[in-house]
């Protein structure tokens, strides 16, 4: 028989840097989950990734206070900012362009994020990412 699900917790944690401090500790503590057990499991699962890369994670908490978790790929905005070599997006989107990213770079990002994007093929994923880049104030060059 399947375990009864008590709830879901969605967090964004830097790879290999989960610790009991906020936001991880309070979110898990409210549900009665063993915080250190999650931190050790998450850090060991993400130790091969680049340190500090933001990893979205969905934690499923069961009625017996056990848990399981699923990690996703980093946000598209993180990849786009890294490709454009900028710290943050423009203050006024549509007017300021603070960086550039090529379609080849967007295609590379789409390959990394294809299972998390709502697209049927890589070209559609590139169009989604181009829209995200433009909304961040990053100019998309190339065709």
Convert the pLDDT of each residue in 71-92 to its tens digit: 888 888 888 888 888 887 777 7
Alpha carbons 138 and 122: distance in angstroms, whole number: 20
What is the rounded end-to-end Cα distance, in angstroms, of the chain?
53
Q: Domain 76-141 belongs to what topology?
A: Arc Repressor Mutant, subunit A (1.10.10)
The span from the CA of 93 to the CA of 69, in Å, is: 35
CATH 1.10.10.250 segments of the chain: 76-141
Q: Where in the chain is the domain with CATH 3.30.1550.10?
A: 5-71
DSSP-derived secondary structure for 90-124:
-SSTTT---EEEEHHHHHHHHHHHTTTS--SSHHH
Summary mean pLDDT of the chain: 85
* Mean pLDDT, range 92-99, rounded to an integer: 77
Mean per-residue pLDDT, 83-103: 80
pLDDT at 1 over 70: no
Mind listing the pLDDT tens digit for each residue in 22-46? 888 888 888 888 889 988 998 888 8
> What integer pLDDT is reported at residue 10 of this predicted model?
92
Select the CATH number that applies to the domain covering 5-71 from these four: 3.30.1550.10, 3.40.710.10, 3.40.50.2000, 3.40.50.300.
3.30.1550.10
Tally Cβ neighbours within 10 Å of residue 52. Answer: 10
């Amino acid at each position: 028989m399947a375990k009864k699900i008590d709830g879901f917790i969605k967090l964004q944690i830097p790879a290999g840097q989960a610790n009991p401090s906020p936001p991880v500790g309070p979110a898990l503590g409210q549900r009665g989950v063993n915080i250190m057990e999650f931190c050790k499991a998450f850090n060991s699962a993400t130790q091969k990734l680049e340190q500090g890369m933001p990893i979205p994670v969905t934690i499923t908490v069961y009625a017996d206070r056990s848990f399981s978790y699923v990690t996703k790929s980093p946000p598209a905005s993180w990849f786009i900012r890294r490709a454009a070599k900028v710290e943050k997006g423009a203050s006024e989107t549509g007017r300021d362009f603070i960086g550039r990213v090529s379609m080849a770079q967007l295609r590379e990002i789409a390959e990394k994020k294809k299972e998390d994007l709502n697209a049927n093929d890589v070209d559609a994923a590139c169009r989604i990412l181009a829209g995200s880049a433009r909304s961040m104030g990053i100019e998309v060059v190339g065709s």
